[in-house]
Structure 1
């Protein structure tokens, strides 16, 4: 996964003979950041949505179109500077913002933070995706749940690929945000922790290890539970409240 395929060799570049991603339902603009940002800002605005939201089978992180989409974001997309980056795990329902879990997360976020202060980034089996791009192909066009996977090779590969993609995004946005928080458990949390360490960029992880251990249920098919559980949500809210305070108000700062 060290190679970095050129997204523009397969996605529309505005050049003669350029191809669009299969099933995308829209043309990508020429590959310069100003045009890219103007065309795909605010996610679904200005983009023809693909009607097929489950057309990509199997683990998406192996697929070429997800690597190409990732390279487009890393190489060409300008992320607007914000005080805070909030990393949320991807969801089965698309677009992510319409899933029950993300609706809950966003209600909690909006209760605490000013929208002008934060930027949401989705990560997981989709790669690393600024939330405003959630309707882009291929992010809207797959259905996959890593939590049901029992093949250790798939889990191993996911970790390696996602660490690479998260590290790349953290490095790209090193000076874009002042503070970062990731709300995640399981393999997503492990990938974020390693990527943060590799990049040398601090990302606060919630819920805390202590709370995860306290709620761990060996009899459940998902031992760590769900991020929608009240105890996890309470810690998420508390973490957001800490972020909402200026550094001068935070003890030890």
Structure 2
């Protein structure tokens, strides 16, 4: 399931959320201040942040704006919690970049449902959903990849790499981002490692005619396209 960061300075609420999230199979990290939250995201990018508006130090709404302005955290799903229930506050929270907004006191059941909804919308692999792009179908539950009726044999790293690329098709992903989301940014390995595994992934997809779905965008990174491209400017083999 997903890696969830709970940013909440009220210990009882943080522990309640942690208990419910772990029960649903998520990995949970708790941060009680804005500084702890910044460090937690710097250590390892979570799949979703449950973010309290009122925090010691920088308020949650300012954190959300900061994360949205950073390329590394631009797509980080955020659900904001706040005692401020005024409509203007809700609009301000959403404008800051929150994907959803829940006023305190809230129903834990409702929050869990909203977390599932945001993850399903923003990160389908966290909910073990099968992904289909073009002729490729990846099933994270059975850990099988097929091109039509033909099964594609992949190593574990190539599987995770393809899973991420298929989850965000047509987007360009730089090497640092791929290291962050596929290997985990707490793992210190060279960026060129990504190139090695891209090469292995293409080799595995070659027999089923899908190797060229993995595009190299010069000076930017890699992307997965839904169709096999022909020669185009800005692309390299």
| TM-score (norm. length: structure 1) | 0.33
Larger Rg: 2
| TM-score (norm. length: structure 2) | 0.35
Say which structure is richer in strand: 2
